[in-house]
Structure 1
């Protein structure tokens, strides 16, 4: 049985998501308007949304459903 490889992240999930979103936005700004640029901007927005969802889920005020 093989063992699972472990990796210790230096940055939190939110920080990694924010960095990737910023990288994608910068890359998209270098492209002319078109489908490729739109695709990168959409990915960046999805990552930003994931950041907000993760913040919401880990907030102390979140109540469990009844």
Structure 2
């Protein structure tokens, strides 16, 4: 028997989820002591923000995706 995918409806848009996670990571970085962990949190926050910008860019009118 084939496995069935578990599907669920997202309650927030991708942009909202990316922005919220970036904000959460930045808040955690503010309370973290200086060091490697803090830098990791800031790096991950920047990655989420970059993903948000890419998502917005892809939704912009005139953007054509090629396969």
What's the TM-score, normalizing by structure 1?
0.90
User: Number of aligned pairs?
Assistant: 65
Structure 1, 21-30 or 56-65: larger mean CA deviation? 56-65
Paired with 1:5 and 1:64, the residues of 2 have a C-alpha distance of 29
Distance 1:12 1:23 in 2: 17
Shift of 1:60: 1.2
Q: Which runs of 5+ in 1 are unaligned?
A: none
For structure 2, the residue ranges without an aligned partner over 5 or more in a row are none
Please, what is the CA RMSD of the aligned residues? 1.2
Looking at structure 2, the residues matched to 6 and 64 of structure 1 have their Cα atoms a distance apart, in angstroms, of 26
Where has structure 1 moved over 3 Å in runs of 4 or more?
A: none
